[in-house]
């Protein structure tokens, strides 16, 4: 094994985390025979750095290719939203989003990143002026939604 950037990495390029995960599987006595030595693939939610919070807010999307679209946001994070939009929007398009959060109106540019049926994922294009309002809303939603889970 060689050390790269402070992490141990195998000669074939398996990250140290995957190696530790395999070692833990072997230590716990789980059968490793006939199992791949590669760590399981991470899901998109595993790769997210910012948690998503449920929210139901109307949204207007200004698309160069589709014009003005209406929909509603179903979740939000500091880096993007998921919204239900009944008209197809091309993946990779840069759009302008307009919606209102409890702390005020938001106008922000975003990239269309994902599509599953009518549910779209939008990644915010960095905007310092709107980011603080979005971050504050996510913080408040985290508190509200954790209280709901704690006291059903």
The domain segmentation of the chain, as residue ranges, is 2-41, 47-150
Beta strands in the chain (DSSP E): 2-4, 7-9, 53-63, 67-76, 80-84, 94-101, 104-116, 119-124
Burial of 16: CB neighbours in 10 Å, binned 0-12, 13-18, 19+: middle
**Digit-coded pLDDT (tens) for 89-134:** 999 999 999 999 999 999 999 999 999 999 999 999 977 788 889 9
- CA 111, distance to chain mean position in Å, is 13
pLDDT tens by residue, 33-82: 333 333 333 344 444 577 999 999 999 999 999 999 999 999 999 999 99
For the chain, the first-to-last Cα distance in angstroms comes to 49
Specify which residues 110 forms β-bridges with.
95, 124
Q: Does domain 47-150 have CATH number 2.40.10.220?
A: yes
pTM of the model: 0.65
CB 89 within 8 A of CB 69: yes
């Amino acid at each position: 094994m060689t050390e790269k950037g402070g992490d141990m990495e195998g000669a074939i390029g398996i990250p140290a985390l995957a190696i530790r995960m395999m070692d833990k599987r072997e230590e716990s006595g789980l059968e490793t025979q006939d199992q791949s030595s590669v760590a399981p693939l991470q899901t998109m939610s595993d790769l997210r750095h910012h948690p998503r919070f449920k929210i139901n807010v109307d949204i207007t999307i200004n698309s160069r290719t589709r014009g003005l679209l209406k929909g509603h946001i179903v979740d939000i994070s500091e880096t993007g939203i998921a919204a239900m939009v009944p008209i197809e929007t091309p993946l990779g398009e840069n759009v302008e989003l307009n919606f209102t959060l409890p702390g005020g109106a938001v106008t922000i540019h975003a990239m269309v990143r994902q599509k599953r049926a009518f549910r779209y994922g939008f990644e915010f294009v960095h905007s310092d002026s709107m980011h603080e309002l979005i971050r504050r809303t996510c913080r408040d939603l985290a508190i509200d939604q954790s209280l709901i889970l704690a006291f059903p």
